Chain A
Amino acid sequence: MGYGPQQVRSRADIRARGGLLTAAFSRLFQAVLTALAASVIVWSLLPLAPGDVATRVLLARGVNDPTAAEIAAAHDALGLNNPLPVQFFQWLGHVLQGDFGQSFTSQASVTQEILERLPATLMLLGLALVFSVVFSVILALLAAAYQDRWPDQLIRAYTQIGAAFPTFVFALLALTFVVVGFQMGQVLSDVTWRAALIPAFIIGLDRAASWTQLLRAGLLQAMNSGYAEVARTRGASERRILLRYALPNAILPFLTAIGVSVGALIGGAPLIEAIFTWPGLGAYLLEALSARNYPVIQAYVLIAALSYVTAAFLVDLAALLLDPRLREVGK
């Protein structure tokens, strides 16, 4: 950390590093377990669905009045005669190879259809995530630095309103006044970064509201802590206390909140995409939902769940790197 010869490693140091690795692997193991559990639930959507799966598949293929023999053949072909656990592992094997099966409606490969639309959604959500993190960190730092003065009061008003209204209110307002009124952006969007800017900004602004509240509270708590007070008695400036002491200590619960929200972000994407007619996965999913197109729903839910698990794992890793107390061996 900026002093001391780096090559000298104490025993405690090595143990701390071992602790870090051990802890990271145990978090990874937990993440894989969670992903597996999620995939069981996602898979069970299909066998739990009302009606016979083989009949549905045949209907999707255009066989309107399947005979008993055709249904039996489809059962064989789809492996539906196997015990459920075997069916699950067959399905999982296909999924791991990137095969989510055939769409009930279009009969095209679900994977193919998703891959066509996924980049647009990832672009929008990624940009939205960057916006919301940047907004909330800047606003929370400003609010904490000017506690109870007008910048803080203004930011608090924004967080209250932002947390109280659903995202689509802002989206509608933005659509009406900014996009249509000022002729900015395109309502019928193409997938370009420029077109993604305004919807991402809206999602980011909405998400940032509650995150700003959380980070501001954490910052203020850290600025009143014992170590901040002692730093003051050493002659540290308020800016130094805010950035060097309060921010690293307050960022951990903030990161956790972000990790938890990633799943919600993906789950909420269809609504925003519908408002901005963004050609992402959203409309595709809504269509699949009304058509009970289970392979598509499964694929989407699994993507959302895996994104959540990945985000949670990354947050865990960040926490391990930040907080030495979490990488204690044997605790």
Chain B
Amino acid sequence: MTAALICEDLSVRYPGGNTPVRNVSFCVSAGECFALVGGSGAGKSSIARALLGLHGAGAKITGALSLNGQDMSRASADAWRRLRGRGVGFVAQNPWSSCDPLRPVGDHVAEAWRCHGLPVTWQAIAKALTALDIPNVGSRQRQYPHTWSGGMLQRASIAAASALTPPIVIADEPTSALDADRAQKVLDALRALGCAVLLISHDMDLVMRNADRIGVLYQGLLVETDTPEVLLKAPAHQETRRLLGALEPLPPRQAPANPTPLIRLRDVSVAYKRGQVQALKPVDLEVGEAEIVGIQGASGSGKSTLLRLVMGLEAPSRGSLWRSEALTPRGALLPIFQDPIGSLVPHWPVWRSVAEPLLAKNQSRRPVKERQERALEALNTVGLGSISPDARPSELSVGQCQRVAIARATITQPALIVADEPTSALDSVSIQQVSKLLRQAAEKGTAVLLVSHDKGFLNRMADRTISLGG
């Protein structure tokens, strides 16, 4: 059996001397699912681009590269173009930005043929979409991408990527825009194609469940390659162990019994424009001291509106809202946001961001030195003792920024932390760290209100979860 992909001693060098991929060798057999994992900057995407011949005119590729037995090491731009779609398929990270917003989904699939000047019938498109479990193809393929759900649109992208039955499909983080259930469905669809799959992901859980073999990338080097079972049992490299850390279950948690209530919403709803736009359907919510409460819902279900109600930034249109005295002082209710980097002042040293709530607590202004010490302490508790407290957010990774944000939200030991999708921008290792830190905050008596679209994440984290109907 010929290998779908052989990659020998592959290096990618950019004009500035930046070498994101160094001497990487691996092969993917026909029908195999090979996963490349690694943190950000490990070189995953550079490899994917090189394997598609899309590394850009400036980049220099060395090493041997063969796809389906065809040597592509010195292939011309035109040879690459003819190969793409036919010899190698590609599924991108975000299904919506993969589709031309001005054309219906059916057109997006038809492009697979039309790009190569091949004739295409609507039956062929319908067949490709039906094969990926998309119902009512006849009418659905005339709809526009923005009206489709992410999971379904990603399956349509897979249909387009595999339309000309390439022997191998490269999928670059194909599920990071989806929650766990939908992610698995997309992966199943990918595997059901029967072709070889090169899966690029940071989601160790997904990779362990779906890949036949896993290659671990670290700073442009392939440091370890083996089956999931072997890697799980005997990880050789520290990076493998770091990535596998994301799979450890969270320590068991005892939900507080009969906690003192902090905030209570009864039948609260919000409507705009004289009731024409229902931003939040009637909801009951109670959060007590040291509780972790999850709020789950699709986009548009009113999650953010509910958070603004809790934070007192918005008044309910109907229903009653009661807040405990404990939430009255400034700094007793602190938020954590979805975009960690955007939530920190870019030109402030991180210690200043962390110490900011100390100033908002109606306390006399403490001397800089003391605030710096408190910030350092807080950074230590979130495991960032090793970074410079004078670093700016741009010097940190996204995961580190979110831990800085948690340090800021916990420094005053507030009564309630409100976290809006705190993990959706993070890789699985950082998700694990952030989850642990939020748990720790709850152990110390701070209630956590956790909003997420990901049911699985809330099930692991929260004492109880309420769902907002879409």
User: What's the nearest-Cβ distance from chain B to residue A261, in Å?
Assistant: 24
B52 interfacial contact with A, CB 8 Å: yes
Q: Interface 1/0s, chain A 220-253, versus B by CB < 8 A?
A: 0000011101111111110010000100110000
A180 interfacial contact with B, CB 8 Å: no
Taking beta carbons and an 8 Å cutoff, which residues of A are in contact with B? 1, 3-4, 8, 10-13, 225-227, 229-237, 240, 245, 248-249, 322-325
What are the residues of chain A within 8 A of B90 when measuring CB–CB?
230, 233-234
- Pick from A4, A226, A234, A324: contact of B97, CB below 8 A: A226
User: What's the nearest-Cβ distance from chain A to residue B256, in Å?
Assistant: 43
Are B107 and A231 in touch, CB under 8 angstroms? no
Please, how many angstroms separate the alpha-carbon atoms of A236 and B160 in the complex? 13
13 A-B pairs with C-beta separation under 8 A: A1-B104, A3-B110, A3-B122, A3-B125, A8-B138, A227-B101, A230-B92, A232-B84, A235-B83, A248-B100, A249-B100, A323-B102, A324-B101
| Given A3-B122, A234-B112: A227 touches B85 (CB 8 Å cut-off) | no
Please, how many angstroms separate the alpha-carbon atoms of A323 and B145 in the complex? 12
| Given A323-B102, A325-B144: A12 touches B84 (CB 8 Å cut-off) | no
Please, how many angstroms separate the alpha-carbon atoms of A323 and B103 in the complex? 8
User: What's the nearest-Cβ distance from chain B to residue A184, in Å?
Assistant: 43
What are the residues of chain B within 8 A of A236 when measuring CB–CB?
111, 115
Please, how many angstroms separate the alpha-carbon atoms of A251 and B111 in the complex? 21
Which residues of chain B from 95 to 129 have any CB-CB distance to chain A below 8 Å in the complex? 97-104, 106-107, 110-112, 115-116, 120-122, 125
What are the residues of chain B within 8 A of A240 when measuring CB–CB?
115
Are A234 and B100 in touch, CB under 8 angstroms? no
Please, how many angstroms separate the alpha-carbon atoms of A202 and B121 in the complex? 48
Please, how many angstroms separate the alpha-carbon atoms of A26 and B82 in the complex? 47
Are B107 and A234 in touch, CB under 8 angstroms? no
| Given A233-B85, A234-B84, A234-B85: A11 touches B139 (CB 8 Å cut-off) | yes
Please, how many angstroms separate the alpha-carbon atoms of A12 and B139 in the complex? 8
| Given A225-B97, A233-B84: A4 touches B141 (CB 8 Å cut-off) | yes
Q: A10-B142, A233-B52, A233-B92 are in contact. List 17 more A-B contacts (CB 8 A).
A: A3-B110, A3-B122, A4-B142, A8-B139, A10-B139, A226-B92, A227-B97, A227-B98, A230-B157, A231-B111, A232-B54, A233-B89, A234-B90, A234-B112, A235-B85, A240-B115, A324-B146
User: What's the nearest-Cβ distance from chain B to residue A277, in Å?
Assistant: 46
What are the residues of chain B within 8 A of A234 when measuring CB–CB?
84-85, 90, 111-112, 115, 160-161
Are B101 and A323 in touch, CB under 8 angstroms? yes
Please, how many angstroms separate the alpha-carbon atoms of A231 and B84 in the complex? 10
Please, how many angstroms separate the alpha-carbon atoms of A4 and B103 in the complex? 15
User: What's the nearest-Cβ distance from chain A to residue B274, in Å?
Assistant: 15
Please, how many angstroms separate the alpha-carbon atoms of A240 and B144 in the complex? 21
Which residues of chain B from 144 to 160 have any CB-CB distance to chain A below 8 Å in the complex? 144, 146-147, 157, 160
User: What's the nearest-Cβ distance from chain B to residue A35, in Å?
Assistant: 27
Closest to A10 in B: B139
